[in-house]
Amino acid sequence: MGQTVTSSLQSSAKTPKTIAMKENTEHQALANWLQAVANERSKAAFTHLFKFFAPKIQRIAASKYGNETLASEVVQETMSNIWRKAHLFNPDKGSPTTWVYTVMRNVSFDLLRKIKTKKEDNLSDDFWPLVESCEADDADSQFEDHLASKEVMRCIDTLPEEQKCVVKGFYFMEMSQEQLAQHLGIPLGTVKSRLRLALAKLKQQIGGEK
């Protein structure tokens, strides 16, 4: 987008640094809302997400496909996927905006494919698995990430058995907290507190690198 600094009125106040800061706090808020949707099924948080993302998705899709109706469909589908898949968002793996972008990209791919080829095979999640798709920001950190994930695995192995179970079920097998509760025959609250404990412990062990 070519217009960055040219319209001078506002730009004087916005040094790159303040923009970056604004992005950071914005990202934090978005990430919190996504997690509130995932963990508490919070409609209030979802409304915030909706108001932030829906108009932008509408604009991006409309300019890309030149079709407002299709764009609304992309909005509808993307937002409902966010509601249903928020638990797959992992703040350690990427920014909330990148995650939402990948959801939108997948939705658009399946929609367009349906229109062009009449196929409703929804292949996008096979091509771009949402759990892994927002990995490293740049090529350099790829290898670190790899090492880091080994480190994480080591730490997980040191957790008490019952916490290990919950962590592995939730993050590696992508079971929901409800499913885990059912599967392990324990109350939902217990799943949540075990998960919290485990994560606190992991954070402690891995330290504040990120």
Partner 1 sequence: MISCHPTQEMLEKFANGELPATLAAAVSIHAEMCSECSAQIASYTEQQAEAGFNDVSSHDASSTNVNDEDAFADIDIDDMIAAITATDEIDIALEDKEKTITVKGKEYVLPRALTNMTMSNWSSIGKLARSRVELGEGEIRASLLQIQPGGSVPEHTHKGFELTLLLDGSFEDDMGVYGPGDFIVLDGKHTHNPVSHEGCLCYTVSNDAQHFTQGINKLLNPFGSFIY
Among 74, 95, 180, 195, indicate the residue that binds partner 1 (CB under 8 A). Answer: 95
Considering beta carbons, is residue 169 or 194 the nearer one to partner 1? 169
Q: Give the integer Cα–Cα distance in Å for 104 and 85.
A: 12
69 binds partner 1 (CB under 8 A): no
The window from 149-157, 167-175, 190-198, 199-207 that contacts partner 1 (CB under 8 A) reads: 167-175
Taking the complex as a whole, how short is the minimal distance between the CB of residue 66 and partner 1, in angstroms? 14
40 binds partner 1 (CB under 8 A): no
32 binds partner 1 (CB under 8 A): no
**Footprint of partner 1 on 181-210 (CB under 8 A):** none
For 121-137, letters b (16+ CB in 10 Å) and e give eeebeeeeebeebbeee
Taking the complex as a whole, how short is the minimal distance between the CB of residue 136 and partner 1, in angstroms? 5
**How far lies 32's CA from each of 10, 90, 120, 152, in Å?**
29, 11, 33, 23
Q: Give the integer Cα–Cα distance in Å for 72 and 170.
A: 33
